[in-house]
Structure 1
């Protein structure tokens, strides 16, 4: 940039920004403002650098670009005389650390009026004290309101996740409790039947045969095939008839236990062959307690394993035992979020995972990205209203990782897709959303990680795409 002559007060009055200034005010701007010339391609201001000047376009065409996911995205291109850029919140003076929000570049040879931000702030506060208070109040108020509502949004999300996790934990915990209570009864019955067998002075060879059958029957339990209700009923009837013919009381009780363990009449024939008829019923009941105890132990192991998996998913989701910024497996975060939202996923929703197994870890704030996945998946589930397909996809996109959250809902109207990331904007009915979920997600992805968040939508195919750099940014957020 090269400096040229200053503007006269009359020339300044021709700009819409200054047309209503007094003569003294115009004189100050004329004395303190410099006219600079920028050749085509020159950078007028650079995104992220300290905002030291307020720029007003006098002549030429400019372009404003933002750095998104390592690539420049043009947000404005104009040749309108009088447009301004740079330190646009100069009125805060040194009370707010300001940086240029975008890179402004001269498309053609340009001329700019430049005003130093700090001196301009001081005199502007003298000229328009009420306006400055209003501007500051609006800026601070919006920022504080967004923070408060954002906190409320996070609390609501936490409440939903807590309710979902509690629901998911309750089922295996209750199953384990029921199995443990039943197991106590079975052990008591086993001791009782063993006592009955001993009272009848069971021969050692017979006892060894029974314990051998016991071990064999137990070993077969893990491989027991799943039966339909009709198959189970037919097998229980057949086994019940076998028991009834041998004078066993309440044969249906034993039939249900043995069929569940994959045993049939041919297996019980081996028991009958090993003991005298008078010993048969105590032997069968002892074996049934043993088999059922093993089944209950397997149920407890499955239930506690499920609880452990849920706790691991909660730890993965919250990142409670990990460093905030670290190489992050995006697939693990997506899976953990699905677990946390398990109660929200209706039976009519099919979840499809299309993960790139070769996608490398992404340098990221994993806990914050999980908040993004929560917002996007939650919105997708709401859009489908209990019926449809939710697809989670990860892939490599050049030097970036791509995550897609796709739903088969009715879609977002074309005229609204450009607004979905605006603060407080929501397509949901009043009272069902704060309108900050996508704004928070956009700030996490774009501002915090230097990525990009975009959406395409048509009926039956709405996809939110998150693009994240695979390498550390040169200047972390």
Structure 2
């Protein structure tokens, strides 16, 4: 938007605190290269446009705002004479994108001294060389520090996740190793029992019947029903009595295995009716080994399936071999993150999932959303542990208007009122020295708000803290625009 040109008075320009130390010659040059303009109420420049001018307000009221999702969020409103905004990074040249990082409008007729960006850059480099160096160092130093600490934050999270994943993988792996060793022993005994049976006085028909019973037994194991502890105990007693009545030694040891396999006295009666009485003990012993090997193979299958599931969850979490930006089901991301963090969450925190499975997929950067979930879950778990006891973490999804809500609710200590305004500040942390970088929520804010055009907000009271992530259901702008967005906010000084 163009303003109405007005005469430039070097004395008036010199009365602005930004220029009050300049010489008459310098003020004259400013007036020659710049201009005074009056703007009627309305927009002055728009966020994302090429930053061509540096604005210093002479009189009026200015409002700076940013686009967050589909909403204009006011950043600053002031009537202070001499505040400035616009092409404030022109002195950095092409080392940073020269775009307006905010939008600016005026609410009443307002006069500005307007200096072209290239003139502002010249003034900063030639008239204030030390100030330019200080500002340049501050800009790049702050950005490099945030990158370095952010990298450290991700490494800490990765170390924690790796430890948790190692712990989760170790349990099924150890179970598979134990089951394999036991299976080897049982198969060895099975071969020995087969040799004994082959040398015994068994007819061809009896052996065929025994093999048939073995096949039916294996089928029963695969379909074993789940029993309550009381039901299992009662059935064990029944089987032990039956085995003892039929002269089978150590029935008390065999009975629990048969119960686990879903066998009962009716099945044993069928076995007794099929084979001669004199070979019943040998047949039951043979079938006991059959049942044990089937159960051990099931345990190995369950363990390896668990390992495969954990590896799939790790791939889902890291988004390996996936497009960086795509439509995603947030529930898949949440589940993979919770599984990856299960070792760190521990048994003292009860996790409750309140998912609305009817929610559509949303356009997102899934690997980065997983980083947000990690940060918010980690903070929630830390808050619960700070209470000195157990607690509950509730993860809820829902639709709110044209946005998808992901809420993390914890029963922890809550956020004290005096620090609530600082929780998203870079490097602010309440964790002990060495345990937190203070960038978890800052990174989460940048990912949700800057990259996804969503919102990140919270409500807190002792025993009830809720962090809410709101994501647009449709992509508000192109991926390329998101990638190129300048992350530095602009404030009027």
Shorter-chain TM-score bucket reads over 0.9
2:289 maps to: 289
- Is 1:468 the counterpart of 2:471? The answer is yes
Q: Identify which of 427, 432, 436 aligns with 1:429.
A: 432
CA distances 1:155-184 after superposition (whole Å, capped 9, x unpaired): 111111111111111111111222222222
2:311 maps to: 311
2:152 maps to: 152
Conserved 8 A contact 1:40-1:109: yes
1:180 maps to: 180
Report which stretch shifted further, 125-134 or 4-13.
Answer: 4-13
CA distances 1:79-104 after superposition (whole Å, capped 9, x unpaired): 22111111122332344322111111
1:60-459 equivalences under 5 Å are 60-227=60-227, 232=232, 235-385=235-385, 387-459=390-462
SS class of match (1:416): helix
| Structure 1: distance between partners of 2:269 and 2:393 | 52
Report which stretch shifted further, 266-275 or 85-94.
Answer: 266-275
Conserved 8 A contact 1:417-1:455: no
Report which stretch shifted further, 102-111 or 348-357.
Answer: 348-357
Conserved 8 A contact 2:313-2:336: yes
Report which stretch shifted further, 344-353 or 155-164.
Answer: 344-353
| Structure 1: distance between partners of 2:330 and 2:168 | 23
Structure 2 unmatched runs, 5+: 483-493
User: TM-score, length-normalised on structure 1?
Assistant: 0.94
Conserved 8 A contact 1:6-1:31: no
Report which stretch shifted further, 96-105 or 86-95.
Answer: 86-95
C-alpha spacing 1:95/1:165, structure 2 compared with 1 (3 Å): closer
| Structure 2: distance between partners of 1:53 and 1:39 | 18
Structure 1 unmatched runs, 5+: none
Q: Which has the higher contact order (CA 8 A, sep 6+)?
A: 2
How many residues end up aligned between the 2 structures? Answer: 476
| Structure 2: distance between partners of 1:305 and 1:96 | 49
User: TM-score, length-normalised on structure 2?
Assistant: 0.91
Report which stretch shifted further, 24-33 or 43-52.
Answer: 24-33
| Structure 1: distance between partners of 2:232 and 2:400 | 52
Once the two structures are TM-superposed, the CA of residue 60 in structure 1 deviates from its matched residue by 1.7
Once the two structures are TM-superposed, the CA of residue 148 in structure 1 deviates from its matched residue by 0.7
Once the two structures are TM-superposed, the CA of residue 150 in structure 1 deviates from its matched residue by 0.7
1:27 maps to: 28
1:14 maps to: 15
| Structure 1: distance between partners of 2:101 and 2:74 | 13
| Structure 2: distance between partners of 1:310 and 1:407 | 25
CA distances 1:21-59 after superposition (whole Å, capped 9, x unpaired): 233332222322211111112x11211112121111122
| Structure 2: distance between partners of 1:252 and 1:154 | 55
CA distances 1:316-358 after superposition (whole Å, capped 9, x unpaired): 1111111111111111111111111111122232222222222
Note the aligned Cα RMSD (angstroms): 2.1
Once the two structures are TM-superposed, the CA of residue 234 in structure 1 deviates from its matched residue by 5.4
